[in-house]
Structure 1
Amino acid sequence: MIDVNELLEEAIRETENLNEDEVFLVKDLFKGYVWNRIPRKDRLLLGTLFLNYVNMMEGSIKAIEKTSSNQQRYKKIKS
C-alpha cells in the first residue's frame, strides 16, 4: 500500500535536484514506472497536497499555469 504522505515527502526532496527556472509537473518528480504504479486517486491527492505545500511554504517552488490537460505546472525559482 502506497502512503501518499511518503510520496509527498519524496516529491519535495526531488525538487532539490531541479535547476533554477526549471518548469515541471508533479509526475516529473517520479520515475515513469513509479508514477504509473500509483493509483489514480492517490495521484490526484498527491497533486492537491503538493499544491497546498507550495502555497503554504515560502520556498523555491512557485505554482504557475495549468496545462491544457488541467495539470498544475510549477517552476523552481531562486530561493
Structure 2
Amino acid sequence: MFDVNELLEEAIKETDNLEDEEIFLVKDLFKGYVWNRIEVKDRLLLGTLFINYVHKGKSNLCAIEKTSSHQQQYRKNIDLQTKIQ
C-alpha cells in the first residue's frame, strides 16, 4: 500500500532529473515495477494531484496534449533561473 502524497513528492523530486524540454508521463517518473505495484485508483489520484501541482505554476512544468491512450503528457520547460546563473 502506497501513500499517494508520498508518491506525489517522489514524482516531483524526480522531475529534477529530466532534461529541459523533455516530454514525459507521470508513470515515467517511477521505475516500471514500482508503477505496476501502485493500485489503479491510486495512479488516477496521483495523476490528478500531479496535474493540480503543475497548474499551480510553482514549477517549470507544463501540461501539454494527451496521448492517443488519453494519458496526460507534460514538458519540463527551460529553468531560466538556472540558465542565468
Structure 1: any 5+ residue segments left out of the alignment?
none
* Structure 2: gaps (5+ residues): 80-85
Query: SS state of the match for residue 45, structure 2?
Result: helix
CA distance in 2, matches of 1:59, 1:42: 23
> Alignment identity in percent?
70
Equivalent residue letter for 1:63: A
Residue 78 of structure 1 deviates from its aligned partner by 1.1
Root mean square deviation, CA, Å: 0.7
**Shift of the alpha carbon at 1:57?**
2.4
Counterpart CA distance in 2 for 1:72 and 1:17 is: 19
TM-score (norm 2): 0.90
Runs of 4+ in 1 over 3 A off after TM superposition: none
**Paired residue for 2:45?**
45
Report how far residue 58 of structure 1 moved: 3.4
Cα distance in 1, alignment partners of residues 57 and 39 from structure 2: 27
| Counterpart Cα distance in 1 of 2:56 and 2:31 | 26
Q: Distance in 2 between matches of 1:37 and 1:59?
A: 27
Aligned length: 79
Which letter does structure 2 place at the counterpart of 1:74?
Y
Partners of 2:38 and 2:72 in 1: how far apart? 18
Kindly provide the CA deviation profile for residues 9-65 of structure 1, in whole angstroms up to 9, marking residues without a partner as x: 000000000000100000000000000000000000000100000001232111000
1:20 is aligned to 20
Taking structure 1 as the reference length, what is the TM-score of the superposition?
Answer: 0.97
Which residue does the alignment assign to 1:5? 5
